[in-house]
Structure 1
Amino acid sequence: MPGKVPTSWPDLINMDVYEAVQIIRTERPDLRVVRVLPPNEQPSPPEEGMVRVIIYNDNNHRVVAPAPYIG
């Protein structure tokens, strides 16, 4: 039986954004869209059928809370 498929990545908080994206793409190669946003910016609604990961950064290329998540 395969392991649990991750839908969020709390361990990536404080990590370099580029490294975080690589980890997510390794763990979830089925995801094609990764949105990196500044703190407090709301993501736009996804296109129909799109599965994407939202990552917030501190404008210094570090991942900040909330943890990266599918949404």
Structure 2
Amino acid sequence: MKLSARNTLKGTVKKVTPGAVNAEVVIEVAGGVEIVSIITMESMKSLGLEVGKEAYAVIKASNVMVGVDH
């Protein structure tokens, strides 16, 4: 798999919550960190996503917001 995105994190699907149009997918990466994504049901089905399957969280963004607590 080759992608133009530079941030590709390999993990395991921890949870899939299907909806009418979209599905929420939780991928657990190293250190127990969870990444959540909303994808179409069609994409979820075509990727064969299910709990326990290995998957990649691919992050491509032109902006990343940073915040701090005061």
**Greater percentage in helix:** 1
- Higher relative strand content: 2
TM-score by length of 1: 0.26
Q: TM-score if structure 2 supplies the norm length?
A: 0.26
* CA radius of gyration, larger in: 2
